[in-house]
Amino acid sequence: MATRSLRPLTLGGQPLTVDRARRMRWTATGMLAAMAAIFVATHGLAMTGHPAWGYVNAFAEAAMVGGLADWFAVTALFRHPLGLPIPHTAIIPENKDRIADTMAAFLRENFLTPAVVARRMAGMNIAKAAGEFLAASPGRGGQDERSRITSGAAELLAEVLESLDPDRLGNQVRSGLAGQLAKLDIAPLAGRMIESAMTDKRHQPLIDGFVRWAGLTIEDNEDTLREIIHQRVAGVLRWAGIDKTISSSVLDGLYKLLAEVLVNPDHPLRGKVEEGLAKLGQDLQHDPETRAKVEDMKRDLIANPAVAVWWTGVWERIRQSLIRRARDPESAMGAEMRSMLGELGEALQQDARLQHQINRFARRTMVGVATRYGDQIVRLVSETVKRWDARTITDRVEGAVGRDLQFIRINGTLVGGLVGMGLHALNGVL
């Protein structure tokens, strides 16, 4: 079975590798060998020499026994001692599937239950922390971090816009807008807008613009208007050349009328226009027939193929503009996004109500994730450990706790020696 490439664990910035554990293992083994050598060297001296050699020999003997016992115990966790298939040895490799299930169950019961997640999240102010990060001053590196965020977001936006089919994306955006527009009752909204504009006198520039447009339209179509007047005038008048005088008088009268309407805010024609606008605003809100006509116009506009063609061109220009702005380092998009992020950070820091809402949303989201996906997360942990072979799981565990286990051997050697000396002294007393 193929093994996965695994990164070594770290502790205190230093990798917890098998090599470090191996060095400690050689140290512990060296102490055991030293105790065995001392025991052999002092065995005869303890019988015939100075009484102190008895204590040395007792220390070495007990240390050798304690170190040997701890070596067997530690080794049995990871492999068969001396390669012998002794029962209840190589515990971790032989039970890796059970260990995986136990780890998953422990993680599920102690970390991924809704109650635990909610309790942990309750003590965290995620919104304030995010606000401090976004509003950090340049001296703390906040501006640089925001620049990285905005640059990454802009590049991601550009890649998304380039990778997706332009026509399909444009049609999806158009369909979404059309769906929202279809749900929107335009007539009452337009009526309220007209009433509001008239109340605030914001309709006057609209009337002025319409009057100017009418004047320019008449000026651009004078020849056509003169021809129409010429055709409507009686033949005798045309023969006498009076039609030209009439057409000039009519056009001059129209220009004068429009000029008076433009300069006189109390002109009767302007008042008639305002009356018409006021009635239109009322009809758009309260007249069923007018509202039905507006709805029909809206549906026809949405279904018109020409609108779809127009939108395709508009969307393509918008898409290309967004891509250029996202890719341009001199574009104002990055500065605008950084400014918005900074303002958002300030709001998150100062607005306690906003913090409460965001923290509550984050807490509910994490609880929902734990509830819905907790089993899948722990299953991932379990299946990952089960896919490891015996060598991999041994290296991982030994790399993490191997040094501590070798310290157990060292401590067992020393403690065993001290106990041996104590027993030797007690034997001498008794």
* Exposed/middle/buried for residue 208 (C-beta within 10 Å: 0-12, 13-18, 19+): middle
DSSP string, 93-160: HHTHHHHHHHHHHHHHHHTSSHHHHHHHHHT--HHHHHHHHHT--GGGTHHHHHHHHHHHHHHHHHHH
Tell me, yes or no, whether 299 and 189 share the same domain: yes
What pLDDT, on the 0 to 100 scale, is given for residue 274? 82
Last residue in a domain, options 303, 323, 356: 303
Sorted by sequence, the CB contacts under 8 Å of residue 173 that are 6+ apart come out as: 315
pLDDT score recorded for residue 330: 64
Q: Is residue 308 part of a domain?
A: no
Closest of 342, 347, 321, 349 to residue 150, by C-alpha? 342
For β-strands 9-11 and 14-16, DSSP reports them as antiparallel
With respect to residue 352, please indicate whether it lies within any of the assigned structural domains.
Answer: no
Exposure b/e, 114-150, CB count within 10 A at least 16 = b: eeebeeebeeeebbbebbebbbbeeeeebeeebbebb
Q: What is the DSSP letter of 388?
A: S
Q: DSSP per residue over 173-226, as a string?
A: HHHHHHHHHHHS-HHHHHHHHHHHHHHTTTTHHHHHHHHHHHHHHHHHTHHHHH
Report whether 221 contacts 250 (CB < 8 A).
Answer: no
- Find residue 15's DSSP bridge partners: 10
User: Looking at the domain assignment, is residue 194 inside a domain?
Assistant: yes
90 and 196 share a domain?
no
On whether residue 164 sits in a domain, the answer given is no
Q: Look at residue 321 and tell me if it is in a domain.
A: no
CA dihedral 168, 171, 175, 176 (to 10 degrees): 70
Last residue of a domain, one of 257, 285, 303: 303
**Residue 365 included in any domain:** no
pLDDT of residue 151: 64
Domain boundary among 249, 281, 303: 303
- Rg for the chain, CA atoms, rounded: 45
The pLDDT, as a whole number, for residue 2 is: 40
**Spatial separation of the C-alpha atoms in residues 413 and 425, rounded to whole Å:** 18
In a domain, 397, yes or no: yes
Q: What is the pLDDT of residue 232?
A: 64
User: Domain range holding 414?
Assistant: 9-94+389-429
Give the DSSP letter of residue 90.
Answer: S
pLDDT tens for the chain, 430 residues long, are: 344 444 444 444 444 444 666 777 788 888 888 988 988 888 777 667 677 888 888 898 888 888 888 888 888 888 888 778 788 787 778 888 888 888 888 887 777 788 888 888 887 888 888 887 777 644 444 445 555 666 666 667 777 777 777 777 777 777 777 777 777 788 888 888 888 888 877 777 888 888 888 888 888 887 887 777 666 655 544 544 565 676 777 778 888 888 887 888 788 888 888 888 888 888 888 888 888 888 888 888 878 888 778 877 887 888 888 777 777 766 666 666 667 777 777 888 888 888 888 888 888 888 888 888 878 888 888 888 888 877 787 777 777 777 788 888 888 888 988 888 888 788 777 6
For 98-121, the pLDDT digits (tens) are 888 888 888 877 777 888 888 888
Instruction: Name the pTM for this structure.
Output: 0.42
Residue 269 covered by a domain: yes
Separation of alpha carbons 376 and 332, rounded Å: 43
How many domains in the chain?
A: 2
Same domain? 299 vs 394: no
Contact 230, 243 (CB under 8 A): yes
Q: Express each pLDDT in 118-142 by its tens digit.
A: 888 887 888 888 887 777 644 444 4
Contact 113, 370 (CB under 8 A): yes
Alpha carbon distance 129, 348 (integer Å): 9
